[in-house]
Structure 1
């Protein structure tokens, strides 16, 4: 076989090793249409290129792609390449400070090695898509990685934290899991000073240091559910209850978890076309604006402050229409 054929076969072998955790030599040979001896030679070629292909002999043995000391070239199929390019573009406008430039560099490298047909597909997707800047809370990449490693290693973390009023306080916690809504990052952790589970926003942390003290093994709440409850029930002036003529899934896609909780309507629990939004906000006028943009019929069950805010918004819009007419 010529050099081009050998190269193509080695790339196919690499693709197979990336697709599954383990392959026997017989499986690889049958899939590639070659002998097991040829598979062994191609494995050695991959190793010479820096790919850590591990082999285990005996019954149940085979080949698998291990972790190396450096990152070798990756082999992506068409769908993976397009998905990676799109994800990198989103990361260029993300919430992690310092990751934008790295994402842009990676996206540039990927575009350089893409075949023209894929480059055209990605360009078409980018040109047909616009990024809408939103109210995201940026965090430092070092903070993110320090917290992530502490969760992995199960060690305590110390940091200075600003509460919702901007008041600073030192915290020592045992972190469990980070949760992101796309707009903000949160940490579920056991607060040692308060002897209870707490939710912390990463963008309000400073001077984050991981200690060498191990976390105490303890049962913890579900991170996603706990953070959802925490961020949708901050202390507020009023808690609003709104019945919406739309499915719960539809409303959840429009309402950030920081705004409120969406669930079945207690008075119509079997009606999939209705749901109940329980939202806590400091500013009823802000909630009125958010309800208006949902584009569905809403019934304000309470409190009166929210009803009044909706009435004020309606009057202002009516006045604007009157002036325009």
Structure 2
């Protein structure tokens, strides 16, 4: 799907016949969502720039993700999507800054793109050029990542209270599942931020940004925001690791406590077992067998032999 944003227009318009694509002076943003080869060729013909393929977008070396070619600046960043689902994913998104126009190529639907598209309709002055559109999109992506981090931080904070203030008999499965999901989201946010950090640094080399003081200042502000969020990700990752270790430690403590109780009761019942074993022997001459009160005396000895170790363990604080 190919959509085009015209500066001052009524939002993104869908191009149904890409072979007839003709760009006007006010067309500043071409958004390719899961593009067909026909749509890619139409954009390449209009801009005179070769667009990276989906396979090239998936490469991880910086030289294949950040480069300048034929007067255009090609930037490929990793963007987090589906962060509010059980399976968040990181996907590459391409930004091609060619003169006054920006081309984006994506095979996912990041929420930040929808937010910026709505903002562009309300504030057309923020889309006067492709450089402004690029910075606006990056700003929306960074804001979205910040929101995800805030949500994850609040979730981790609530979970930390559950770890240390939970009833002793409450299960740990939900806590560990929550921390595991938080760690996955935090890791993917950090990967995306690292990618954006490199991309923002390289984007400053584009003539369209380097020659625009306002764009340079906004880009520098985004660079600081990304660095701050990356540091927060590292802190939160350490906090999640600590909580996971604490949860596993508490599980081990509770298991050891249960095993200790079983061991104590096993030891306490050894003396009665010994008494019962003695009087269960089939010797012919056992005086107590003929005693009228022998049965009750044996029971009393067994009870006393059980209570003795239990009282001793309790006095020592082991029970």
TM bracket (short chain): under 0.3
* Max Rg structure: 2
TM-score between both structures, scaled by the size of structure 2: 0.20
| Larger relative strand fraction | 1
> Which structure has the higher relative contact order (CA within 8 Å, separation 6+)?
2
TM-score between both structures, scaled by the size of structure 1: 0.20
